[in-house]
Amino acid sequence: MTPDLIQEDIVKLVISLIGGSIIGAEREYNNKNAGFRTVILVTVGATLFTILSGLLTGGKDFHVAGNVVVGIGFLGAGAIFKEGTTVKGITTAATIWVSAAIGMAIGIGEYEIAFASIFIVMLVLLGFIWLQGFIDQFNREKVYKITVPCLKLTLDEINQFLKDSGLKGNCVYRHKIDENITLTLIVKGPEKKHHTLISILQTNEHVLEFEV
């Protein structure tokens, strides 16, 4: 390798560090499990693999870099976890995946594509929050855990609460302890109607406790 090529590769790694820092800072600020350092390492690592792939094959075959796509899938899968009936971490996993793609773009010298992609990623992560909130106003999915006495309140009556609130839902789990039963329901509908359901549950004398 000539000194010029070495210098160019170092520049690529530095640019990758900057790009990863921009995306990683947003993830860290929002306390995601794959934060600042993780995203930087993913971006820099993808750039390095792409550089090495080009060196090993003389720039004719980027097969090694192609395997980054497969390998990054395992790392992204580690960011996804299930909490109750809710799956979390998918956005973080997608961020890891696209960060690797940006790193690969930098590795082959496509700086314009890389920084355009960074702009789009930040627009989605920051600028589209209001749009997601707007959509949730019309259709929000929530998990309710409602504990009632077995003989005082039936599932049909709870389903009637949903209808009275203008919501749709399904019972996905039942857990009975002594004379009480806890029902887990996935409920969908506008945010305002969720408030209506919560008011109904708060005022019903047979609802021992509930969690949303």
- The pLDDT tens digits of the residues spanning 129-145 come to 888 778 877 888 888 99
Q: Which of 81, 102, 127 is the last residue of a domain?
A: 127
* Domain assignment of residue 133, yes or no: no
Q: Are residues 30 and 102 in the same domain?
A: yes
Domain that holds residue 207: 140-211
Q: What is the pLDDT of residue 1?
A: 61
Q: Are residues 162 and 98 in the same domain?
A: no
Q: Are residues 116 and 152 in the same domain?
A: no
Q: Are residues 15 and 39 in the same domain?
A: yes
* Domain assignment of residue 171, yes or no: yes
Q: What is the pLDDT of residue 85?
A: 57
Closest CA to 100 of 119, 118, 88, 124: 118
CA–CA separation, 105 vs 164, rounded Å?
A: 53
Q: Are residues 18 and 119 in the same domain?
A: yes
Q: With a threshold of 0.75, does the pTM exceed it?
A: no
* Domain assignment of residue 134, yes or no: no
Rounded mean pLDDT, 73-101: 80
Q: Is the pLDDT of residue 96 over 80?
A: yes
Q: Which residue type does 210 have? A: F
Rounded mean pLDDT, 90-98: 89
Rounded mean pLDDT, 203-207: 90
Binned at pLDDT 50, 70 and 90, residue 197 comes out as: very high
8-22, 31-45, 46-60: the lowest-pLDDT one: 46-60
DSSP bridge partners of 87: 82
Q: Is the pLDDT of residue 46 over 70?
A: yes
Structural tokens at position 106: 């930098």
Q: Which of 58, 93, 127 is the last residue of a domain?
A: 127
* Termini Cα distance of the chain: 60
Q: What is the pLDDT of residue 71?
A: 80
In total, how many domains does the chain have? 2
The percentage of the chain sitting over the pLDDT mark of 90, rounded to a whole number, equals: 42
Q: Is the pLDDT of residue 190 over 80?
A: yes
Rounded mean pLDDT, 191-196: 90
DSSP bridge partners of 210: 146
More confident residue, 67 or 172: 172
